[in-house]
Amino acid sequence: MKKFILILVLAFSLQNVNSQSLLIKDVKVDNVPINGFIDFGLKSSVIITFKVAFSKPNNLTIGNIVYHVGTVSALNGFQRLASAEEVYSGVNSTGFSATYSKEIFASQYSFGNGNYLFAKIVQLDYPNVEYPSNMIPIFKTPTYSISSNVNTVACNSSTEVQFTVNSADTSYGSSTYQWSYGPGWTLIGGTTGNILRLIPGSSTLGQITVTPTYKGAIQPTKTLTLKRPPFISEATIIGSNSICNLTETYSIDNSENAQNIVWSSSNPSIATVNNSTGNSVTVSKVGEGNFKLIATITNSCGQVSPVSKSLTAYSITSHPIPAGTFDIDFVDCYDDSKAKINFYPTTAFGGVITLSLPFLPHPSQSQTKQITVTYTNPCNGFSTSKVLTFKYTAPDCHQYKTINNSTVFSIYPNPSNELVKVSLIENNTNNNQIISGEIFDILGISKSKIKIIEGEASFSVSSLKKGIYVLKIYLENKIETHQIIVE
């Protein structure tokens, strides 16, 4: 009799288990109903909304139960989406339901199968029956990229290049690929699979593309373009540095087998080119002066590299005896090493002028120098020379190096290359009066005037050349002098 009762209880329990249901339904991803599964697509996270509904017969008492809602992944196992809740399920109750809205993140799930949304109810009292829900699959789309076994392809290279599509989904074989390639390539093998093999040509290389398909859905196309290394021509222009005749011919060392060469002049008012293409060019003199002859070289891959040669066009109609005047560049009293000597010919000469003494030593000192001036005609090598006297009178650097010991005004910052400020140090003068000041160079030439109002002034030295200047401040009974260094 006891055995019969036990068998009857077990049969009743199995019947009751089969009459319960726990169902996840009405699932949406970012408020869009799903088509049988949750798909991240290319998103890093999505909001899922869903209802969990438990139903049972009205006359069935299950007792105390706890229900769990979460997701399962191969990476992290079960992850709760809500806290476990305990309820009592007795007679006169057909079950319960709850609606959830949760954010889930793609990084927490693996590619392929093994991820799903899941719920279950566990009976807390004997016989501790579990009621699992249906499972909603969760998928995420792999990310794809293209890589190659080289970073650049040299212009004349015919070495095979391999392109590989990289994907995080390598376990389930659910991605397929379709490759395409632009001009300049020759195919080895096929255009499916995760590797594409190509031979480069000598023309411009076209773009490489691959379109993945994941679980039957076409994914965004990925692209890659390989660049040529920079083309820097080592060719040289051969010919004279001087243009003395009406025309001169120049050629180029075309060791790189250039596909195209275009010639040009940097200054057509001095010289022009008659034929603008080919390995040689005829240059016609128009005026005189310095210019550059430019050869723009294009290789077979369409890359461009210019080479140039500096030339001088001469137009020498006479060859006078050297005559003229000298001066020197600006003198810095604090740099007494040397100063460049400038020569100004009395009669214009279109050739080359050289000085036996190009720099004057110790320009802070007055001195007389004998300088040989030479006129050279570079077209025929003829030259004439003459010794000329340069009598140089130095500025009085000593007075400009002497800093006034006055303590009425301070000058700062000093040295400066922008603004200089003047400030009253002590209240030993009428602070309300307007005091004037003046800036001089070392030759005593006035450069600018300032006004000091209520003991303050500022002025810019940005327009002045680098060197030593003197600021004179005109007080009632004296002149206060300050040295200013412009950097």
pLDDT in tens, 262-313: 999 999 999 999 877 788 899 999 998 999 999 999 888 888 999 999 999 9
The answer to whether residues 17 and 127 belong to one domain is yes
Tokens representing 74?
A: 């191969």
The answer to whether residues 7 and 115 belong to one domain is yes
pLDDT at 430 exceeding the cut of 60: no
**For residues 233 and 297, what is the distance between their CA atoms, to the nearest angstrom?**
8
> For residue 319, is it within any domain?
no
The answer to whether residues 32 and 128 belong to one domain is yes
The pLDDT confidence band at residue 8, using thresholds 50, 70 and 90, is very low
Q: What is the CATH number of the domain that holds 469?
A: 2.60.40.3080
Which residues lie closer than 8 Å to 3 by C-beta, 6 or more apart? none
pLDDT at 10 exceeding the cut of 60: no
Q: Return the minimum-mean-pLDDT range out of 4-18, 38-52, 358-372, 409-423.
A: 4-18
pLDDT at 473 exceeding the cut of 90: no
What are the strands, taking DSSP E only, across 31-129? Answer: 32-33, 38-39, 45-55, 63-73, 77-80, 85-89, 95-105, 116-123
The pLDDT confidence band at residue 254, using thresholds 50, 70 and 90, is low
Give me the mean pLDDT over the 356-367 stretch.
Answer: 88
Of 115, 93, 89, nearest in space to 104 by CA = 115
> For residue 231, is it within any domain?
no
SS3 374: strand
What is the pLDDT at residue 324? Answer: 93
Domain boundary among 286, 313, 340: 313
> For residue 465, is it within any domain?
yes
| Higher per-residue pLDDT: 139 or 9 | 139
What is the pLDDT at residue 257? Answer: 60
Q: What is the CATH number of the domain that holds 256?
A: 2.60.40.1080
pLDDT at 333 exceeding the cut of 50: yes
Q: Return the minimum-mean-pLDDT range out of 133-142, 313-322, 390-399.
A: 390-399
pLDDT at 400 exceeding the cut of 70: no
pLDDT at 108 exceeding the cut of 60: yes
Count of domains forming the chain: 5
The answer to whether residues 29 and 110 belong to one domain is yes
pLDDT in tens, 17-63: 457 889 999 999 999 999 888 988 778 899 999 999 998 888 888 88
Give me the mean pLDDT over the 116-144 stretch.
Answer: 88
> For residue 342, is it within any domain?
yes
| Higher per-residue pLDDT: 329 or 230 | 230
Domain boundary among 260, 294, 313: 313
Of 225, 223, 248, 251, nearest in space to 237 by CA = 251
Q: Could you tell me the CA-to-CA distances from 129 to 14, 77, 456 in Å, in that order?
A: 10, 22, 94
The answer to whether residues 214 and 245 belong to one domain is no
Give me the mean pLDDT over the 197-209 stretch.
Answer: 91
The pLDDT confidence band at residue 404, using thresholds 50, 70 and 90, is very low
Give me the mean pLDDT over the 445-463 stretch.
Answer: 87
What is the pLDDT at residue 256? Answer: 62
Provide the CB-side half-sphere exposure for 204 (13 A, CA): 7
The answer to whether residues 120 and 178 belong to one domain is no
Angle at 394 between CA 389 and CA 399, to 5 degrees: 170
Is residue 315 within 8 A of residue 335, CB to CB? The reply is no
The pLDDT confidence band at residue 64, using thresholds 50, 70 and 90, is confident
> For residue 230, is it within any domain?
no
> For residue 318, is it within any domain?
no
The answer to whether residues 19 and 90 belong to one domain is yes
Peptide bond connecting 363 to the previous residue in cis, omega within 30 degrees of 0: no
> For residue 269, is it within any domain?
yes
The answer to whether residues 378 and 444 belong to one domain is no
What is the pLDDT at residue 9? Answer: 35
Ramachandran quadrant class, 169 (left: phi over 0; alpha: psi -120 to 50; beta: rest): beta
Q: What is the CATH number of the domain that holds 156?
A: 2.60.40.10
Domain boundary among 375, 394, 413: 394
> For residue 86, is it within any domain?
yes
The answer to whether residues 276 and 245 belong to one domain is yes
The answer to whether residues 362 and 443 belong to one domain is no
What is the pLDDT at residue 136? Answer: 93
The answer to whether residues 288 and 337 belong to one domain is no
Is residue 403 within 8 A of residue 470, CB to CB? The reply is no
Q: 451: domain range?
A: 398-486
The answer to whether residues 277 and 205 belong to one domain is no
User: What is the residue-averaged pLDDT of the chain?
Assistant: 84
